[in-house]
Amino acid sequence: MESWGGISSAEMRAVDENAEWLGVDRILLMENAGSSVARTVYQWLGGLAEKKIVVICGTGNNGGDGFVAARHMAGLGARVTVILLGDQSKIRTPEAKKNFEIIMKMRGTIEFKNVKSLEDLEDVRRDIMEAEAIIDAIFGTGIKGEIREPWRSAINLINSARGLKVAVDIPSGVNPDTGEVKDIAVDANLTVTFHRPKLGLPAAGDYCGEVVVAPIGIPPEAELIMGPGDARLALNMMRDKLEVVLLDDVSEDVVEILKMFNLTYRFGGDAKGRIAYLGTKTDLVDSCRDASTIISLNLLDEKIHMATIIDWKEAENKIGLRIDQSSGKICDELTKKASDLNKVIYIYGGKTDFLSNGSRCKLSWIDRPLNEVGLNALIGLSITFTAYRVDPFRALSAAGYLAGHVAEHGLSSLLNEVNRLKS
């Protein structure tokens, strides 16, 4: 996450999943998103009574937000037409399907039209051209590849209409992370984005119009906690693996995890270009300076990049932290120390684990303090994710969540959870 508050689409998906894990259902987030769009359009138009509104929806969650917005605007007196671009049997998520089913029952206040081809698009041309507001809920952050027909012509039609053009989360056709437009995008007057502005919004300012950031009920803890969203994100980031050099003894659990993930490892030897597990053997640090990543169980003052997993005794001695300080105070001091030393630092052993890379801080308080198998899983998974070239901060965030899962359910449950997150 950037300092100005922007968030990537992948990070946003992780936050959504963490929010659900904390008990905030995705359908509630969709409800809040759609109602925010409806309220914003109401304010911009000075009311909605008898206003002609067209909501153009895709088959993903952006479309689901549009279905909710359509329902709320109908409740505010608007004459609403919902246009679904694509096959309704391909609406992808349970929450989007649920909200689609609702609007299909609103036959007295919402007119529904389905566009699957260019020929179908001609049947809705007049609706779009005469609308006082057109809501773009086609792609959102789900844009992938080139825009095909009839979606491409639908975007052209939206851009040629006279009504207020409102983009849901980000204008369709804009890359949410870079702001790049490869072909065509909705030229919005207003963009209602959710939770935080998407990273690509500043670069796509000409397409976004005025940007409204709408909170949708995601608890701040969804960003702070090491949750399943972080683990899924790390699993999706895994690339070609590096060899692991173990310079210190490890438990059988750690070895089992390395084998579980098909990693090549050896005890001792040249660490150049490899993942070096230093453990507590700080006297061997010089032998692994050319390693791709160093993972240590002691905090070294030398300013070499490494991931460090330490207990509270080490945190007190080396950083001056106290376990009875507030979480905010611990995060602030840990983040400063991680920045000063250019290290990713993970603290375990109390009721809450803390992790910082010098700019961000993550916490985990579920199934803490970790038991022995949980701690072994934390070490083994930290090695594993970094061996698959995942950024150390994201690697340890994922390891922190999965370690808690292993602590509660046992090491035998790890692969099932990993496979669930990969699906």
Name the burial class of residue 380, with classes exposed (0-12), middle (13-18) and buried (19+) by CB atoms within 10 angstroms of its CB. buried
Question: Do 231 and 292 reside in the same domain of the chain?
Answer: yes
Confirm whether pTM is higher than 0.75.
yes
3-class DSSP string for 155-195:
HHHHHHCCCEEEEECCCCCCCCCCCCCCCCCCCCCEEEEEC
Q: What CATH number did the domain enclosing 190 receive?
A: 3.40.50.10260
Domain interval for residue 341? 225-422
Question: Do 140 and 210 reside in the same domain of the chain?
Answer: yes
173 contacts 97 by C-beta, under 8 angstroms: no
pLDDT tens for the chain, 423 residues: list them.
344 579 999 999 999 999 999 999 999 999 999 999 999 999 999 999 999 999 999 999 999 999 999 999 999 999 999 999 999 999 989 999 999 999 999 999 999 999 999 999 999 999 999 999 999 999 988 777 789 999 999 999 999 999 999 999 999 999 999 999 998 999 999 999 999 999 999 999 999 999 999 999 999 999 999 999 999 999 999 999 999 999 999 999 999 999 999 999 999 999 999 999 999 999 999 999 999 999 999 998 877 779 999 999 999 999 999 999 999 999 999 999 999 999 999 999 999 999 999 999 999 999 999 999 999 999 999 999 999 999 999 999 999 999 999 999 999 999 999 999 998
Question: Do 130 and 38 reside in the same domain of the chain?
Answer: yes
Domain boundary residue, one of 222, 242, 270: 222
Residue 136 placed within a domain = yes
Residue 326 placed within a domain = yes
Q: Amino acid identity of 53?
A: I
Question: Do 169 and 55 reside in the same domain of the chain?
Answer: yes
- The domain tally of the chain equals 2
Q: What CATH number did the domain enclosing 378 receive?
A: 3.40.1190.20
Domain boundary residue, one of 222, 238, 261: 222
Question: Do 210 and 321 reside in the same domain of the chain?
Answer: no
Domain boundary residue, one of 202, 222, 242: 222
Question: Do 195 and 266 reside in the same domain of the chain?
Answer: no
110 contacts 70 by C-beta, under 8 angstroms: yes
